[in-house]
Every structure is written in C-alpha cells, then in structure tokens.
C-alpha cells in the first residue's frame, strides 16, 4: 500500500471539522495559483472503493491548469492513462468572494453529460480541504478532497469517502503532481521532471 500520510490527513480533517466556516474564511482567489501551468501526475487509486480493499493501481497522467474569470476561477485539463484505458477529465474551480469559499466540479470524458456534485471548502496554513455530500453505488457518502505538501514544483491531492458522515474515511485516490518544464531544442518541446 502506498504511503498516504494518514496522520497528516486525519489531523487536517479534525481541524476542518472543528474550524467549520473559519477554515474557508481566510481563503483567497489566489489559493490555486500554485497549480498554474503544466504537470506530470502519478496516480494511485483503489481498484474497489468502500469494499475494505487494499488493492491499488498506479498509472501516469498529465495536467494543465489556467485561470478564468479574471483569476476568480480556474480549469485544468487532465489526461489519465488508466489501466482500463486512457481518458480525459477536467476540474472547474470557482471562488465566491462573498463566502471566501471554493467550489470544485469534476467532468469526466467517459460520462460527458454528468457534472459531479461540487466539493466546497478552502485553504488554511497551505492546506486545502473540501467536502460534499454525494452517492457511491447507490449509497450516500461524504466526499473529501485535500490539497497539501504544496511547493513551487510539486503538490499532493487525495480523495476520501466516508459512509458515516465523516467519522471514518477511506482514502481512495492520490495524485502526486510534479511540475513539467519545457525547453526548446531545435524547434521541439520535451517534458522534463524536476
């Protein structure tokens, strides 16, 4: 099983529960500026969610993010080279100046008419925590996204589901982002990892 930094994630979640709206109250429209540009992404994803499984699959992908609406929103375009086949997806994020909270939607090319329920939240101390109520295979769940370990050239995102309204969580998807640098060589671009 991959290292998930469970103690970090659990303490982040506990703080988010305790802080409630205060968590988002210090967010700004620049919270996701770190993600602007092109990235190489390493994915680790549970093959079977909410099934007490410890069977992970790993695959690669890319991500490119740009801002919208004069910086108060952004979108990223993702290519995922999953074992079951390559697909594309997009994250759309919008910042509400009144509430100082972000909403994040996910759109998957395999289901192009379905926009996922948005997760809502914000950043505190360099960590972004976002929640939503949704369903998984007919069961009501709580969804949590966490952005952490953010540097200029790397970041980590993880998704977790809860069947008991956030008392316990199962992390089911982890993305490790590494900034892709592009250098020009005889008129061609090649991606390099830092």
What is d(CA 162, CA 152) in angstroms, rounded to the nearest whole number? 31
Q: Can you say whether residue 141 is alpha, beta or left, with left for phi > 0 and alpha for psi between -120 and 50 degrees?
A: beta
* pLDDT at residue 34 tops 90: yes
What is d(CA 42, CA 48) in angstroms, rounded to the nearest whole number? 19
pTM of the model: 0.81
SS3 193: strand
Residue 25: pLDDT band by 50, 70, 90 thresholds?
Answer: low
Q: What is the pLDDT of residues 84-111, one digit of tens each?
A: 999 999 999 999 999 999 999 999 999 9
Residue 181: pLDDT band by 50, 70, 90 thresholds?
Answer: confident
What are 170's strand-pairing partners?
161
Residue 56: pLDDT band by 50, 70, 90 thresholds?
Answer: very high
SS3 181: strand
* Tokens found for residue 15: 């703080």
């Amino acid at each position: 099983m991959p290292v998930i930094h469970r103690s970090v994630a659990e303490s982040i979640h506990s703080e988010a529960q305790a802080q409630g709206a205060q968590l988002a109250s210090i967010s700004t429209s620049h919270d996701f500026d770190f993600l602007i540009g092109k990235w190489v992404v390493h994915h680790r994803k549970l093959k079977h969610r909410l099934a007490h499984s410890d069977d992970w699959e790993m695959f690669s992908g890319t991500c490119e993010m740009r801002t919208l609406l004069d910086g108060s929103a952004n979108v990223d375009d993702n290519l995922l080279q999953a074992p079951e086949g390559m697909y594309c997806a997009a994250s759309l994020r919008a910042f509400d100046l009144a509430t100082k909270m972000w909403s994040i939607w996910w759109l998957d090319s395999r289901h192009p008419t379905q926009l996922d329920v948005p997760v809502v939240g914000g950043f505190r101390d360099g960590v972004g925590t976002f929640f939503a109520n949704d369903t998984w295979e007919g069961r009501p769940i709580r969804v949590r996204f966490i952005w952490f370990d953010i540097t200029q050239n790397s970041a980590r995102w993880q998704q977790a589901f809860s069947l008991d309204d956030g008392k316990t969580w199962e992390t089911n998807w982890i993305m490790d982002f590494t900034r892709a640098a592009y250098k020009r060589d005889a008129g061609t671009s090649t991606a390099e990892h830092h």
